[in-house]
């Protein structure tokens, strides 16, 4: 075990996560959890094809996904589209979140990354989703990883800073836990699992591991950081599994947009359909859910 690393063992981590991810939500619990997932959602579009009109559509959907449905927490987009989203979301509760620091690879010069983050904030982004430098992490240069997070933190002190670990590239649960601990110590407001741009992203075990890091950090420092799960969460059922993991590891105080986010592009469709089924008993299908 490398010094300073918290040991993690896969077998019981996965066993516990599996139990939590299979909790059963019925009646009121299901309704509450569906609304919670929507209210904690970072509705995302991160494509090379994103145009201003596409982003306006996503924003409109985020403000009012369907009649009687809460707004999402934020719209997550590329920096070049921040100004469009700010205008489209004016007057609503929905925040603008921008990815930054050479998303998704993180492999640009530091000054470029810092400028990107600063300009996103200047354009009106309230939240910055930065990626860590996985190349530095895998090379064992944890000092560089920490310093870069701290530099972004300094560059946009008033923004909510979400630190994307890209867990699928770190190699082991113990490495993920160490990345969590580095990011929390360097000032992350949220730990975020993944860019969503690689195959392996959020899993129940990873979510549990990150909750444990956040819990231990809150215990040691008194500061409550949040968790953002992103990448591959497409179904309501999967999302509710993550709600259970947060609920039973961090407690209900974490089940609010200030401390819990689910980043997704298509999840909202399924939650709306399940919500409708729950309310009416009928599963109407995708044609009855307005797309962006």
Partner 1 sequence: MRAVIPELTYAPAPESTAPVTLRESYGLFVGGEWVAPEGAATFATFNPATEEKLAEVGYAEAVDVDRAVRAARRGYEKYWRKLRPAERAKYVYRIARALTERSREFAVLETMDGGKPIREARDFDVPQAAAHFFYHAGWADKLAWAVPGAERARPLGVVGAIVPWNFPLLIAAWKIAPALACGNTIVLKPAETTPLTALLLAQVCAEAELPPGVVNIITGDGRTGEALVEHPDVDKISFTGSTEVGKGIRRATAGTAKRLSLELGGKSAFIVFDDAPLDQTIEGIVSAIYFNQGHVCCAGSRLLVQESVAAEVVERLRARIATLRHGDPLDKNTDIGAINSRAQRDKIVELVQSGVEEGAVLVQAEWTAPARGYWYPASFFTNVQPTYRIAREEIFGPVLSVMTFRTPDEAIERANNLPYGLSAGVWTSSGALSMYAAARLQAGVVWCNTFNQFDPSSPFGGYKESGFGREGGLAGLRAYLAT
Residues 249-278 that bind partner 1 (CB under 8 A): 252, 255
Applying CB under 8 A, what is the total number of residues that bind partner 1? 39
Q: Is 243 in the site for partner 1 (CB under 8 A)?
A: yes
Q: Is 93 in the site for partner 1 (CB under 8 A)?
A: yes
Contact of 161 with 189, CB cutoff 8 Å: yes
Query: How far is it, in rounded angstroms, from Cα 268 to Cα 168?
Result: 24
Beta-carbon contacts of residue 291 (< 8 Å; ≥ 6 apart): 61, 269
Q: What ranges make up the beta strands (E) of the chain?
A: 41-44, 74-77, 95-100, 127-131, 160-164, 190-192, 226-230, 260-264
Q: Is 248 in the site for partner 1 (CB under 8 A)?
A: yes
Q: Which two tokens stand for residue 271?
A: 């939650």
SS3 184: helix
Q: Which of 60, 69, 102, 185 binds partner 1 (CB under 8 A)?
A: 69
Q: Which residue, 37 or 100, is less far from partner 1 as judged by CB? A: 37
For residue 102, the minimal CB distance to partner 1 (Å) is: 33
Query: How far is it, in rounded angstroms, from Cα 261 to Cα 231?
Result: 12
Query: How far is it, in rounded angstroms, from Cα 78 to Cα 99?
Result: 6
> Given the rule CB under 8 A, which of 4-12, 50-58, 119-127, 157-165 is the region that contacts partner 1?
4-12
Residues 172-211 that bind partner 1 (CB under 8 A): 209
Mind telling me the catalytic residues?
129, 192, 228
Question: Binding residues for partner 1, per CB under 8 A?
Answer: 1, 6-9, 11-13, 15-16, 19, 22-30, 32-33, 35-36, 38-39, 64, 68-71, 93, 209, 212, 243, 247-248, 252, 255
């Amino acid at each position: 075990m490398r010094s300073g690393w918290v040991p993690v063992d896969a077998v019981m981590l996965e066993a516990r996560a599996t139990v939590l991810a299979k909790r059963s939500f019925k009646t009121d619990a299901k309704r509450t959890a569906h609304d919670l997932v929507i209210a904690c959602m970072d509705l995302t579009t991160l494509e090379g094809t994103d145009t201003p009109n596409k982003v306006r559509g996503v924003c409109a959907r985020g403000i009012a996904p369907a009649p009687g449905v809460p707004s999402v927490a934020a719209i997550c987009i590329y920096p070049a589209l921040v100004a469009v989203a700010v205008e489209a979301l004016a007057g609503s509760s929905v925040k603008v979140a921008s990815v930054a620091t050479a998303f998704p690879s993180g492999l640009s010069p530091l000054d470029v990354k810092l400028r990107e983050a600063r300009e996103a904030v200047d354009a009106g982004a309230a939240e910055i989703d930065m990626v860590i430098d996985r190349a530095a992490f895998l090379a064992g240069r944890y000092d560089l990883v920490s310093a870069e997070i701290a530099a972004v933190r300094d560059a946009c002190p008033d923004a909510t800073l979400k630190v994307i670990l890209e867990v699928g590239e770190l190699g082991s649960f113990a490495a993920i836990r160490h990345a969590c601990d580095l990011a929390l110590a360097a000032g992350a407001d949220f730990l975020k699992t993944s860019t969503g741009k690689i195959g392996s992203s959020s899993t129940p075990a990873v979510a549990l591991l990150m909750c444990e890091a956040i819990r231990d950090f809150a215990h040691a420092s008194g500061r409550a950081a949040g968790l953002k799960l992103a990448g591959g969460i497409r179904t309501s059922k999967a999302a509710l599994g993550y709600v259970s993991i947060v609920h039973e590891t961090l407690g209900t105080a974490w089940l609010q947009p200030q401390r819990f986010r689910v980043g997704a592009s298509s999840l909202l469709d399924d939650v709306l359909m399940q919500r409708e089924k729950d309310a009416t008993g009928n599963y109407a299908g995708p044609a009855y859910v307005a797309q962006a």
